[in-house]
Amino acid sequence: MAGHYKGFFRVPQVKAFLNFASRNLADADIGQIPGVVTQQLQHTLPLLEAIGKSIVELYKLEAQIDYEEGRRYPTIPSLVRSPHRIFPSRPLSLLPAGESEAPSSAPLSSTPLSILTRSSSPFLTASSPTIKELIRFIEALTLPASSLNGLPPHEREYHLLLEKDPEKFSCFREQNPTYRRILTTLQKQSTMGDPLFLARWMMWRVYAWSLEAVQDIFGDLRSGRDVFLVRQKVSKAHGNNAIQVKTYGGQFGRNVPSDVRNINKIWNGGLEIWADWRERLPVSFRSAEESMMSTDMPIFHAGTLSQLLLYGDMVQLGIVVSPTTGELAKLLLRANSGAMRGLEILGWKREETAVEEVLEMLCETLNSHLSPVAKGLFHGGKVGLFDIEHTLCKVARKQGNMRTKSPQWPKPMTKRTLTQGKRNIHQMDSDEYVPDASRKRQKVVRNNPN
């Protein structure tokens, strides 16, 4: 079956099964699927293939009609690969920012929708200017300092920020100094045997990320009180600024508890959750969410940004099963973090189906078009869903700075999003993502609550 196009892969139930299998079955089990299908379902294959091809032709016809009449093609359920996820044949890495795929003179039914220019099509695809700019952005971050002269000014400026603070500006989370140090300190290889592992990891995430002075004496944490004492010691020696985690934005630090009682709540919650997880690894994403919501841990129970960070870490470590695009879409919408603003920059709306669809499209696009060097900097040499979430945060951060702002991307915040109702303060992850003018307005509001 490998290497051949089979129309039945477009049947929603078939693709749903394949998605489930890829996330939950071992490689050896997955390897048996082709043999079982071809031997035991051989009489059914032609029917499934015919149904699949019919679905594809139906979507192409509907898309053609809507395109010719100037309407947006209705959103297709994410389990079916929609026509606007058909990718161009040539690589998109580091194409000149203004270049676009030229539309063919062939009839639309034989032309991938992704090669239509953005001005004539409402779909955002692998060849859309904003997506090509995303690929450029990631590729440019792999360049050494000696190769920056040929980059546009906004990309060179971003590189300067990256060199100064990789924790805050790098798309490659596992290449960050803190991430590497925490793996060494907590001895990843003996994770399963350490009953304190998750509690310790949570302390690093909340209280030590990018803070070398704190990390230097974190040592062998045994309780929440140890964390309190470390912060107290560093604050006396280096000032209060030395214990403020700023990687996630200014608002995050203001919501982090600093008293022994609440730090211990986080510690004890981590112990409780880890005691449960260790008995049934890997844990499903839904179960991980339920565990987090079942505790009263400060910053983690109500703080969706903290949850995003922790889930991403645990997925990378193989402790939690990667979420489906639908599960992550729901979480991103709840968090309303930089990743959501990054999606808006690329042109997507704040709608669950749209977010789910674009996450899948970006996963396929980046893995298809990024260079081996760029992909090699992501976990396992492949761009995963949490890599996309992390990268989208950097897109929003880039556009929040006038010096690094790309002309191919709009501002991260619109008038509509600025006028939305108040959010839970634990969900407000960062002032850094907001353009200068709106940040000034936020400060006025904070200083004048009445």
Residue 286 CA: distances (Å) to CA of 208, 292, 327: 27, 10, 8
Does the pLDDT of residue 123 top 90, yes or no? no
* pLDDT at residue number 169: 95
Q: What is the pLDDT of residue 8?
A: 56
Q: Indicate the average pLDDT of the chain.
A: 76
In the numeric block, which tokens belong to residue 5?
């196009």
Integer Cα distance of 173 and 447 in angstroms: 35
Grade residue 124 by pLDDT with cuts at 50, 70 and 90. low
Give 125's DSSP letter. Answer: -
CA 33/CA 320 separation, integer angstroms? 24
Mean pLDDT of 169-192: 84
Instruction: Give the span between the Cα atoms of 44 and 90, in whole angstroms.
Output: 35
What is the reported pLDDT for 193? 81
- H-run or E-run covering 108: none
DSSP string for 266-335: HHHHHHHHHHHHTTSSSBPHHHHHHHHHTS--TTTSS-HHHHHHHHHHHHHTTSBPPPPHHHHHHHHHHH
Burial of 136 (0-12, 13-18, 19+ CB in 10 A): buried
Is the CB of residue 413 less than 8 Å from the CB of residue 430?
Answer: no
pLDDT at 128: 86
Output the pLDDT for position 387. Answer: 97
Task: Tell me phi and psi for residue 357, to 5 degrees.
Answer: -70, -40
pLDDT tens-digit map of 127-145: 789 999 999 999 999 998 8
Whether 210 contacts 167, CB under 8 Å: yes
Rounded mean pLDDT, 91-112: 37
pLDDT for 407: 93
Tokens of 307: 């949850």
Tokens of 69: 């009449």
Burial of 259 (0-12, 13-18, 19+ CB in 10 A): exposed
Q: How far apart are alpha carbons 325 and 331 in whole angstroms?
A: 10
Annotated domain spans of the chain: 1-74, 162-447
Q: Is the pLDDT of residue 423 over 70?
A: no
Least confident of 123-132, 133-142, 166-175, 241-250: 123-132
Is 80 exceeded by the pLDDT of residue 15? no
Res. 449: pLDDT tops 70: no
Residue 45 has a pLDDT of 73
Q: Please write the tens of the pLDDT for every residue from 211-225.
A: 999 999 998 899 999
The pLDDT value given to residue 341? 92
CA–CA dist 299, 305 (Å, integer): 9
- Using pLDDT thresholds of 50, 70 and 90, give the confidence band for residue 303: confident
**340-386: per-residue pLDDT in tens?**
999 999 988 888 999 999 999 999 999 999 999 999 999 999 999 99
Q: How confident is the model at residue 226 (pLDDT cuts 50, 70, 90)?
A: very high
Residue 393, pLDDT above cutoff 60: yes
Which of the pair, 147 or 265, is modelled with greater confidence? 265
Q: Looking at residue 198, what is its pLDDT?
A: 95
Q: State how far the Cα of 112 lies from the Cα of 122, in Å rounded to an integer.
A: 14
Residue 184's pLDDT band, with cuts at 50, 70 and 90, is confident
More confident residue, 112 or 7: 7
The token pair that represents 272 in the structure block: 């409780």
| 321 against 11, higher pLDDT | 321
Model pLDDT, residue 410: 75
Give the mean model confidence (pLDDT) for residues 433-449: 38
Q: Please state the rounded mean pLDDT for residues 154-165.
A: 94
Residues 42-81 have pLDDT tens digits of 777 777 777 777 776 776 676 666 555 555 444 443 333 3
Do the beta carbons of residue 332 and residue 98 sit within 8 Å?
no
pLDDT at position 99: 41
Q: What's the start-to-end Cα distance of the chain, in Å?
A: 66
> Is residue 18 pLDDT above 70, yes or no?
no
Tell me the pTM. 0.67
If we measure between CA atoms, which residue out of 127, 154, 155 comes closest to residue 140?
155
Predicted pLDDT at 369:
93
